[in-house]
C-alpha cells in the first residue's frame, strides 16, 4: 500500500472527524517521521508492514475519538511545538488571546511573571519566547504536568523559566517575590456541563477542567489571593468560560482590581478578563 492509498482509506474511516484528511495526514506523518508537504510530494512511497501495523493502531484510537494531540504526543501553540500528555489539557487557539493581552501590557523590561496551572507550559513558554528578558515561574499541582512543561522548555531552548509543583499560590508562601503579571487558564467548567462527555474534552483530565461552584471556584480563589503576590500596578489576566465574563469582572472588582476589562476570543465570545492591582 502506498502513502496515498493509505490516506484515502484512512480518511474514509474517520467519518466522525471534522477534517478526516488532515487527521490521516498527521497520523501518517507521525509514523513516517516527515511533514505533510513531503507526504503529498511522495504519495507513491510504499508502506512497510511495521508502519502499516503502527498506523492501524493509531487510526483505531482516532476513530474512537481520542484527540490527535494525545495520539501524536505533540501539539502546536503560538507556533511552538509542545509535547502533550494526558496529564494536561490540550492547548487551544483561543488561549492565544490571553498571551496577546499579556504582551500588550506595559510591563518592566525584566518583569517577574507567574503562570498558575501551567499545564504544558504553553502560556509561559509563548510569553518567554516573545520576552526573553522576563523571568517566568509556572505552578501546577500535577507533577506530571510540571515534568512535561520543563521538558518543553528544554526542548525549545527556553531558559528564563522556573517550575514549581503545588496548588495555586502554596509553593510561593515562603518567598518574597512580587510579580508584575499573573496569568492563568484555570479550571472553569461546571461538573454537570454536558460538554465534558463530548469530543476531545472527554479524554482530558477533569482536574484541569472542572471547578466547584458552577466552575467559578478556582477563578474566585485566584482573584482573592493574587493581590498578595502582585507588585503595585501589576496585572492579573485570566481565561474563563464564555458565559463567565460578568462574574469574573465582579470578582476582580471585589478583590480590589481596577482597569478591569474583558476581551473576546476568535469566536467572538468573552474569554479573557484582566485587571490592575494598585495597592501596596
245 annotated to bind ligand: no
DSSP 8-class letter at 38? H
213 annotated to bind ligand: no
187 annotated to bind ligand: yes
Element (H, E) at 20: helix 20-32
The whole-angstrom separation of Cα 112 and Cα 137 is: 8
The answer to whether 223 and 236 have CB atoms below 8 angstroms apart is yes
118 annotated to bind ligand: yes
Radius of gyration of the chain (CA): 21
73 annotated to bind ligand: no
117 annotated to bind ligand: yes
202 annotated to bind ligand: no
The whole-angstrom separation of Cα 260 and Cα 123 is: 21
199 annotated to bind ligand: no
Residue 152: all three cell numbers together:
518543553
267 annotated to bind ligand: no
Of residues 119, 120, 136, 139, the one with CA closest to residue 128: 136
43 annotated to bind ligand: no
242 annotated to bind ligand: no
Element (H, E) at 83: strand 80-83
The whole-angstrom separation of Cα 17 and Cα 34 is: 22
The answer to whether 112 and 103 have CB atoms below 8 angstroms apart is no
Binding residues for S-adenosyl-L-methionine: 117-121, 140, 168, 185
Binding residues: 117-121, 140, 168, 185-188
Binding residues for substrate: 185-188
Amino acid at each position: 500500500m502506498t502513502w496515498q492509498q493509505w490516506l484515502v482509506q484512512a480518511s474514509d474511516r474517520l467519518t466522525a472527524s471534522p477534517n478526516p484528511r488532515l487527521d490521516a495526514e498527521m497520523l501518517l506523518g507521525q509514523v513516517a517521521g516527515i511533514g505533510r508537504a513531503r507526504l503529498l510530494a511522495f504519495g507513491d512511497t510504499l508502506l512497510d508492514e511495521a508502519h502499516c501495523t503502527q498506523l492501524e493502531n493509531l487510526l483505531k484510537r482516532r476513530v474512537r475519538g481520542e484527540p490527535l494531540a494525545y495520539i501524536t504526543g505533540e501539539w502546536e501553540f503560538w507556533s511552538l511545538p509542545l509535547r502533550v500528555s494526558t496529564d494536561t489539557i490540550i492547548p487551544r487557539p483561543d488561549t492565544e488571546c490571553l498571551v496577546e493581552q499579556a504582551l500588550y501590557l506595559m510591563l518592566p523590561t525584566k518583569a517577574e511573571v507567574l503562570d498558575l496551572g501551567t499545564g504544558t507550559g504553553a502560556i509561559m513558554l509563548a510569553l518567554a519566547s516573545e520576552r526573553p528578558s522576563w523571568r517566568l515561574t509556572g505552578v501546577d499541582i500535577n507533577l506530571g504536568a510540571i515534568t512535561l512543561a520543563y521538558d518543553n522548555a528544554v526542548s525549545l531552548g527556553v531558559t528564563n523559566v522556573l517550575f514549581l509543583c503545588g496548588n495555586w499560590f502554596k509553593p510561593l508562601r515562603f518567598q518574597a517575590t512580587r510579580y508584575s503579571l499573573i496569568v492563568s487558564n484555570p479550571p472553569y467548567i461546571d461538573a454537570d456541563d454536558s460538554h465534558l462527555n463530548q469530543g476531545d474534552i472527554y479524554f482530558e483530565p477533569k482536574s484541569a477542567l472542572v471547578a466547584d461552584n458552577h466552575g467559578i471556584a478556582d477563578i474566585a480563589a485566584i482573584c482573592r489571593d493574587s493581590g498578595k503576590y502582585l507588585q503595585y500596578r501589576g496585572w492579573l489576566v485570566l481565561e474563563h468560560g464564555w458565559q463567565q465574563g460578568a462574574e469574573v469582572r465582579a470578582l476582580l472588582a471585589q478583590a480590589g482590581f481596577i482597569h478591569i476589562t474583558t476581551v473576546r476570543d476568535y469566536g467572538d465570545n468573552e474569554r479573557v478578563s484582566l485587571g490592575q492591582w494598585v495597592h501596596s
